[in-house]
Amino acid sequence: MNKKNILNEYKKKIKEYKRFSEAYYVESNPIINDSEFDKIKQNLIELEKKYHFLNDKASPSNAVGYKPSKNFNKIPHRAPMLSLANAFSEEDLENFEKKIKNYLNKKDDFKIEYSAEPKIDGISASLIFKNGKFIKGLSRGDGKEGEDITENLRTIKDIPHSITNDNFPREIDIRGEVFIQNNDFKKINNKFANPRNAASGSLRQKDPKETKKIPLKFIAYTYGYESGMNIDNQNDFLKYLHIWGFKTNPYNKIIHGTKNLMRNYKEIEKKRDEINLDIDGIVYKVNDFKLQKRLGYVANAPRWAVAHKFSANSGTSKIINIEIQIGRTGALTPVAKIKPINIGGVVVSNATLHNEEEILRKDIRIDDIALIERAGDVIPHVISVDLKQRGKDSKKFEFPKKCPSCGAKTIKDFNTITKKEDAVRRCSSEGYECEKVAIEKIKHFVSKEAFNIEGLGKKIVENFWNLNLIKLPQDIFKLDFNKIENLEGWGKQSIINLKYSINLRKNISFERFIYALGIRHIGLENAKLIAKNLKSIKNFL
């Protein structure tokens, strides 16, 4: 592969990484699981090591988190909030320890003392204290500057506003994780997709009174900037945090040797479902602060710490049926309806099968006993099926050659670049001929990044379609409000609100209009490029 091709491939991966980063850090709505996200980061770092001419400011080698939101004031961190390198196996841990010993010029028999602490899957925050007073609170942001979320953080009972202990430093940035306990999340899970999403959304509320309604917790585990602190190691620092009035992780341990780290890792992973908060791994830190300072940092991560990630949550269940869902681009997505199973504290009854090729490759059939994985916050998916438990009368699943919605032929496009058929099969109907495609297109048309019509949610679009009130996007602007007023759940005020929202969107930006049309391959960024170059609707048409 020549230099140009390597650079093009790298740029594609960076663009993909940026999209996933924004979904994770800004929208708190990951579109891939944590392990896949970690692999993408690792692949980029390895590419950069292999080809030294590769570099991008958005690369995980250079960036931490994502740029802060415009909704809050941006404030520089007094000490950067860095990310951690990841470990996934015992071999990774051995390499981590070997690098430390080599850097310190120590022999193999040198024993390193580690502070091992379960990694909470929440939102990082930095609390700035001066003379014992909590004066400012920041989000991680991009690691260099964060969002000023002070007033929202003040609503969390675990965060002391004033500390009077004589041994508390003159100035210090206490850092930790904001999260929601699993039992508390069950009470509000109708509002949020998952605990991390709930914590992030609550901290980004403009009104602290709304944040106060959410049962947020805070666990402290490290510090950033400090002045006047006289503590020698991480273990003692955690003890002082407790004395100062902060909550710390009850599962913290001091451990020597990678074998013992692995033993502790397996014990915690077994207890994972019993722990009343989401954890996604264990962080190991060299306990001695002097050694930490000697080891220093590489790129945007410390040499003296690593995050040992857990394997994704999984469980086995029976596939009751395989249903086909149809998206706005006509894509047919198979979904396994499974016997409900609790995976990682969440009851799962659906698992994606991705596409036709995936079903064929894994030979997935109705009535099979399947291994289901729920990793992070993405849709659960089928990993494999147990062939030993398959019945004699089992039949291969036949993917529909006709659209289940409109009966049109289903096709696979030929990719001129790969010289292969696409993995996804699609309904061949055009425009709004297919009912399922049409409904999904209208949902997209009114979505936040498109026309952003408040009051026209997904369920309402489906209801209006079934009542023949909306069949095409333009029908939105000539709705019969007299009919709507007689529907259950609709009153005068909700009618006024919907009218106002629709009228407000009769004029929108050119780029939003292009995006709203839902043309395949035309996302928001491409819509912006088209709008910038064509300049007018006349040229576009």
- CB 127 within 8 Å of CB 173: yes
With 0-12 / 13-18 / 19 or more C-beta atoms within 10 angstroms meaning exposed / middle / buried, residue 105 is exposed
Shortest CA distance to 319 belongs to which of 359, 284, 379? 359
HEC sequence for 240-275 = HHHHCCCCCCCCCEEEECHHHHHHHHHHHHHHCCCC
On the 0-12 / 13-18 / 19+ scale of CB atoms within 10 A, 321 is exposed
Largest CA distance in the chain: 83
CB 523 within 8 A of CB 515: yes
CB atoms within 10 A of CB 49: 10
Coil/strand/helix, residue 415? strand
- Residue 246 exposed, middle or buried by CB count within 10 Å (0-12, 13-18, 19+): buried
Can you tell me whether residue 479 is helix, strand or coil?
Answer: coil
Output Rg (C-alpha) for the chain, integer angstroms: 26
Neighbours of 263 (CB within 10 A): 12
Distance CA(144)–CA(319), nearest Å, equals 47
E-assigned strands of 140-248?
145-147, 171-179, 217-227
DSSP code for 215:
-
Q: Give bridge partners of residue 285 from the DSSP assignment.
A: 115, 305
Does 119 participate in catalysis according to the annotation? yes
DSSP 3-state of 159: coil
Measured CA to CA, the distance from residue 181 to residue 274 in angstroms comes to: 12
Cα–Cα dist 177/155, whole Å:
15
Q: Are 453 and 446 in contact (CB under 8 A)?
A: yes
Could you give phi then psi for residue 325, rounded to 5 degrees?
-100, 145
**Sheet (strand 85-87) strand order:** 85-87, 305-309, 279-286, 113-120, 253-256
Active-site pick, 41, 119, 217, 443: 119
Bridge partners (DSSP) listed for residue 410: 427
Residue 364: how many CB atoms within 10 A of its CB?
Answer: 21
Where are the strands (E) in 294-407, listed by range?
297-298, 301-302, 305-309, 313-326, 332-343, 346-352, 369-374, 381-385
Nearest to 244 by CA among 339, 178, 172, 329: 172
Helix axes 90-104, 258-271, angle to 10 degrees: 140
Supply the residues annotated as catalytic. Answer: 119
